[in-house]
């Protein structure tokens, strides 16, 4: 597998930009820019961050509380700062319930450690979310190795009436389906 090709394909998936913050062994705040963040569970409230084993943050996250700072559209400098290109002025920190927070973020999730897994050349950290903050600030996006803004919001909203949603539809895990008879819709005429 060509690593560059794989990275380019991963780059086809637009994602939000986060800075994972924690404390170093001496108690100083530390952060790392991470796009590999996802929700895991609502009950309990869990999220996942995945960091390369080579990152400094990995040595501080094992078994430690952390915060996920979801960056706002105007925080490109903050993303670059924590990606290894220090910016002046530097970030503004605030004390958080579990770990230091970055001021000006679109949202934050304060987490205590839940689980940690081997992810090949990365480590997967699962955090239990114990506190959240949110603003109306648009998020900073990452796509094809570049930062982007969400732009004009479309007039259509996501359809929340999916019938394959056990929370709102009728298709739950016990539903079975009877196939339609006749011509195979996937066959070529």
40-91 tens-digit pLDDT:
999 999 999 999 999 888 889 999 999 999 999 999 999 999 998 888 888 9
In a domain, 78, yes or no: yes
Q: Domain residues for 22?
A: 16-149
In a domain, 65, yes or no: yes
- The Cα 189–Cα 175 span in angstroms is 32
Structural domain count of the chain: 1
If you ran DSSP here, which 8-state letter would residue 72 be given? B
Would the pTM of this model clear 0.95, i.e. be above it? no
Residue 156: predicted pLDDT:
57
List the chain residues with pLDDT less than 50: none
In a domain, 66, yes or no: yes
In a domain, 6, yes or no: no
Cross-strand partners of 135: none
In a domain, 182, yes or no: no
In a domain, 168, yes or no: no
Where residue 93 sits, what CATH number does that domain have? 2.30.110.10
Residue 12: predicted pLDDT:
67
In a domain, 21, yes or no: yes
- The Cα 95–Cα 65 span in angstroms is 13
Residue 154: predicted pLDDT:
60
- The Cα 82–Cα 57 span in angstroms is 10
- The Cα 57–Cα 181 span in angstroms is 56
In a domain, 89, yes or no: yes
């Amino acid at each position: 597998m060509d690593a560059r090709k794989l990275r380019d394909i991963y780059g086809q998936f637009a994602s939000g930009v986060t800075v994972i913050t924690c404390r170093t062994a001496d108690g100083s705040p530390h952060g790392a820019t991470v796009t590999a963040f996802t929700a895991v569970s609502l009950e309990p409230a869990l999220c996942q961050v995945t960091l390369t084993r080579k990152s400094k943050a990995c040595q501080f996250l094992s078994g430690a509380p952390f915060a996920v700072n979801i960056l706002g559209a105007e925080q490109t400098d903050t993303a670059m700062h924590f990606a290894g290109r220090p910016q002046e002025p530097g970030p503004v920190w605030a004390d958080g319930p579990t770990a230091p927070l970055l001021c000006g973020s679109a949202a934050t999730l304060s987490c205590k450690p839940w689980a940690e897994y081997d992810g090949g050349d990365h480590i997967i950290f699962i955090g239990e979310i114990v506190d959240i903050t949110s603003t109306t600030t648009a998020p900073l996006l990452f796509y094809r190795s570049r930062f982007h803004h969400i732009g004009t919001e479309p007039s259509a909203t996501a359809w929340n009436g999916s019938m394959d949603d056990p929370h709102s539809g009728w298709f739950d895990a016990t539903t079975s389906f009877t196939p339609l008879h006749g011509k195979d819709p996937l066959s070529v005429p």
